[in-house]
Structure 1
Amino acid sequence: MNQNDTYVLALDFGGTKLATAVVRVADGELFGYQKVSTPASMGAEASLSLILQTAESSLEKSLVPSDKIRGAGISFGGPVSADGSKVVLSMHVKGWDNYPLPALVSEHFHLPVRMGNDGNIAALGEWYYGSKAIPDHFMYIQISTGIGGGFILNRKLYAGQGLGAEVGHVKVRFEDADAYPCACGSYGCIESVASGWALARDAKRLFEVVSKESIFYQTAKEIGECSARTLVIAARKGDQDALSIIRSAFCSFALSLSDAITLLDMEEIVIGGGVAVNSWDLLEPILKEKIPNFLQTNLRGRTKIRLSQLNGTETLLGAAKLLDI
């Protein structure tokens, strides 16, 4: 079958959202795209039931003939086994431990299925469709609810023994008051400092202590939430407390990127995820300021760093491309 006329059903299991689409492999066009909120409090079975219904809707709305769909690809928000046959665990939704997800999806749709960790899958999608598979050495990292990512090294997706490339759990804080516990069970990870859930934690703490006349307090009341978004909006308005939290978090993020550059000398790093996209005007200047200072002189300026232009579809695109590797 001509690849220009082949399609893959892609499923994205995230901590806060579930997404599905039928992807045309040749150019990454999505058909029948669907997105729903993850019923996280209801556990794995509820998430599986909902995404199967959502995927069925994608198949119907895509209008792609069934004989042109050659398989399904799964992006899962958590560690998966080295052979991709089981979910190891989810740090945000209970009930996924040692779960044979690909087999169940295959049985439901009567299709061959492959699965990977969402960070690795997003890296594959961004590298192939966003960067046109040009860099030989590439990194993708996203700041969303959590922080994750993956690497393309020597033009191949890298995962070590199966659990490698957990970029959100690189340590940036140590055993002191700033070393917050992380969802992974450790502490001081970049996810515990700069992710959406970490910034929401800091926003809630700030709300409890600031003056009711402060820009941050008024912003939180106006939009009805204490979140990463609240901090970003207040920082743009000139609130110094919010700006201090954002700057500290993003400086730590810059440190984690500089460590990756030092270890692997990537040609390109692409940053995605809702928090990064919605705060790029604050994040980019900090990266430009701090990363060169963290690097040895002969590594400065060698790695291109840019924001993803795939509008959050990189995991679905990578899940589709997974069937080709």
Structure 2
Amino acid sequence: MATLETLIRDRLAHNHWGILGNQGYVLGVDLGSYGLRVALANLQHHTFHTMSSEEVNESPDEVVQRVIAMARALMNAHEVTPDHLVRVGVGFGGPVDLRFGTVRLAPRQPGWEHYPLQERFEQAFDAVTVIDNDANVIALGEATFGVGAGCQHLVYLHLSSGVGGGLVLNGRLYHGATSTAGEIGHAVVGQGWDGTGRPETLEELVSITGLLQRARRYGLETDNLDQIFGESSIGQRVVQETVDLLAVRCAQTVALVDPEMIVLGGIVVRIGGEDFVRAIAEKVNTFIAPQFARPLPVVASVLGPESVTVGAIANALDSLSD
């Protein structure tokens, strides 16, 4: 498998982002999905540099100022001044409002509601800034630089502390009417529903917490996700149920948007490994209606810990064509 730097260099060399796509720099920022990370892409020489830091429990302003300082340090290390930035892309670990450039909420940390994220970065770097949630930018990153490079229609599913997703349709991110398209984790699945109350959501069943809770319900007391994917019969039951749940939802998504590829990512996929992804892929292709059946790739994300910064760069580059 090619290195991340090679993937990015090769795709940047095939510029299709217009006149600004072959000059200057693009900054990519990950706010909290894989800690705090920044990446700098040189659009002329096709280089890619990164810097990272552990996430700490700080206020939104403190977090933003810290990541801005990291970005400036990275730029200084490579002798890049703000006037050479053509775009800044930011991926945030929660829903954002694209109309106003603000954060809607941060599921893991309160205080981000209505935070003016786009404005803060535009003030810091005097460069047009585009923001989006982490799953969306990863989807575009995989379709631009990653395992789905060249795909015009791609679905990304992120399995971690939460469950999210992103849709790339006709080569661009699809956001829907209120910027919440792709939030498949909040779709109800009706698993075990008796007709009263609210059925469970996909996130409640297949996020890290959901997997561990189901294991406890069956008698396996653990906080270690590796045990779920180990030799335990209870863990194997939970994994098989998860494969079935995800395969059905993916097959339904295939019927709805007809993608070229489904990409799976996040901690659950990384720990589950090739066997987990392969089992989902086989079931998805079994569940697709016969009249629409075709070999549909269901594969693991390849961008790794830099997936959000790379996706943020992809989103920033895509904005150059607007």
Q: Which TM-score applies when normalising by structure 1? A: 0.80
Alignment of 1:181-200 (within 5 A): 188-200=200-212
Partner residue in 2 for 1:21: 39
Q: Distance in 1 between matches of 2:77 and 2:199?
A: 44
Q: For the Cα contact (< 8 Å) 2:225–2:271, is it kept in 1?
A: no
Amino acid across the alignment from 1:10: G
Aligned runs of 1:1-325 on 2, under 5 Å?
Answer: 3-14=21-32, 17-25=35-43, 29-39=47-57, 42-83=58-99, 85-131=101-147, 133-161=149-177, 162-174=179-191, 176=193, 188-202=200-214, 205=216, 209-210=219-220, 226-232=223-229, 235=230, 238-323=231-316, 324-325=318-319
Which secondary structure state, in structure 2, belongs to the residue aligned with residue 34 of structure 1? strand
CA–CA distance in structure 1, aligned partners of residues 45 and 143 of structure 2: 13
* 1:135 CA drift (Å): 2.2
- Partner-residue secondary structure (3-state), 2:262: strand
For 1:227-255, what per-residue CA distance to the aligned partner results, in whole angstroms no more than 9, with x for missing partners? 323322xx2xx211111122212321112
Query: Deviation at 1:197?
Result: 3.1
SS in 1 for 2:144: helix
Size of the aligned set, in residue pairs, is 298
**Greater CA deviation, 255-264 or 44-53?**
44-53
Question: What is the CA RMSD across the aligned residues, in angstroms?
Answer: 2.9
Query: Residues 38 and 314 (structure 1 numbering): CA distance in 2 closer, same or farther, change over 3 Å?
Result: same
CA distance in 2, matches of 1:44, 1:187: 34
Residues 192, 304 of structure 1: CA spacing in aligned structure 2 closer, same or farther, 3 A cutoff?
A: same
Give SS of 2:145's match. Answer: helix
Q: Secondary structure at the match of 1:115?
A: strand
CA contact (8 A) 1:32 1:61 kept: no
Residue 5 of structure 1, CA deviation: 4.0
SS in 1 for 2:36: strand
SS of aligned partner of 1:191: helix
| Displacement of 1:131 | 4.7
Structure 2 residues without counterparts, runs of 5 or longer: 1-18
Q: How far is 1:43 from its partner?
A: 4.5
Structure 2: which amino acid aligns with 1:37?
A: E
Distance in 2, matches of 1:25 and 1:93, equals 35
Shift of 1:48: 2.4
Structure 2 contact 281–298 (Cα < 8 Å) conserved? no
Cα distance change on mapping 1:168 and 1:65 into 2, 3 Å: same
TM-score of the two chains, using structure 2 as the length reference: 0.81
Tell me by how many angstroms 1:28 deviates.
Answer: 7.0
Q: Which runs of 5+ in 1 are unaligned?
A: 211-216, 221-225
